[in-house]
Structure 1
Amino acid sequence: MTDAPALTTDLVAIPSHEDETAAGDYIESWLREETDGAVERDRHGNVIARKGSGDTSLALVGHHDVVPPEESQVGDDGYRVTERDGRIYGRGAADMKGAVAAAMCAFRDASPLCELVFASFVGEEVGGTGARGAIEDGFSPDYAIVGEGSTNYSQPGVTDVAIAHRGRRGSTIHVEGTAAHASEPEAGENAIYRATDAIDVVRDLPFPETTVLGQTMEGSVAVTEIEGGTAWNMIPDGCTVTVDERTVPGERAPLAHVEDIPGVSLAIDQDLPPMACAERAFADFVHETAGVTQDGSPEQVKKPHATDAGWLAEAGTACVVCGAAEPGEAHTADESVSAAVLDRCYDIYRRCAEDFEALA
Structure 2
Amino acid sequence: MDDVTELTRDLVAIPSHEDETRAGEFIEAWLCEETDGEVTRDEAGNVFARKGSREGASLALVGHHDVVPPAGTQIEDGEYVLEERDGRLYGRGTADMKGAVAAAMCAFRDSEVSGSSDRSGGSRARDSAPAGELVFASFVGEESGGVGARFAIEAGFVPDYAVVCEGSTNYSKPGVTDVVVAHKGRRGSTITARGAASHASEPEAGENAIYRACEAVDLVRGLDAPTATVLENRLSGSVAVTEIDGGSAMNVIPDHCTVTVDERTVPGERTSLERTGEIGGVEWAVDQDLPPMACSDEGFARAALEAARETQEGAPELVSKPHATDAGWLAEAGTVCVVCGASEPGEAHTDDESVSLSVLERCYRLYRALASKQVG
* TM-score normalised by length of structure 2: 0.94
Moved over 6 A (4+): none
Counterpart residue number, 1:149: 167
Matched-pair contact (CA < 8 Å) for 2:59–2:375: no
User: 1:357 and 1:48, CA in 2 relative to 1: closer, same or farther beyond 3 A?
Assistant: closer
Matched-pair contact (CA < 8 Å) for 1:63–1:121: yes
- Separation in 2, partners of 1:214, 1:343: 29
Q: Deviations over 1:305-324 (max 9, x none)?
A: 11000000000000000000
C-alpha displacement of 1:250: 1.4
Instruction: Select the residue among 235, 238, 248 that pairs with 1:220.
Output: 238
Superposition pairs of residues 150-229 of structure 1, within 5 angstroms = 150-229=168-247
Local SS of the residue matching 1:3: helix
C-alpha displacement of 1:75: 2.2
Q: Deviations over 1:241-278 (max 9, x none)?
A: 00000001112100011112100000100000000001
Counterpart residue number, 2:338: 320
Counterpart residue number, 1:82: 83
- Separation in 2, partners of 1:292, 1:191: 60
C-alpha displacement of 1:215: 2.3
Superposition pairs of residues 186-335 of structure 1, within 5 angstroms = 186-335=204-353
C-alpha displacement of 1:112: 2.3
Matched-pair contact (CA < 8 Å) for 1:122–1:129: yes
- Separation in 1, partners of 2:51, 2:255: 61
- Separation in 2, partners of 1:326, 1:228: 40
Equivalent position amino acid for 2:27 in 1: I
Q: Deviations over 1:319-346 (max 9, x none)?
A: 0000000000000000000000000000
- Separation in 1, partners of 2:110, 2:213: 58
- Identity across the alignment (%): 69
Local SS of the residue matching 1:245: strand
- Asked if residue 343 in structure 1 is aligned to residue 351 in structure 2, the reply is no
Counterpart residue number, 2:16: 16
Counterpart residue number, 1:61: 62
* Equivalenced residues, count: 358
- Separation in 2, partners of 1:121, 1:260: 40
Counterpart residue number, 2:29: 29
Counterpart residue number, 1:104: 105
Q: Runs of 5+ in structure 1 lacking a partner?
A: none
- Separation in 1, partners of 2:373, 2:2: 20
Q: Which deviates more from structure 2 when the two are superposed, residues 46-55 or residues 282-291? A: 46-55
- Separation in 1, partners of 2:5, 2:359: 9
Q: Runs of 5+ in structure 2 lacking a partner?
A: 115-131
User: 1:233 and 1:336, CA in 2 relative to 1: closer, same or farther beyond 3 A?
Assistant: same
Matched-pair contact (CA < 8 Å) for 1:2–1:343: no
Counterpart residue number, 2:117: none
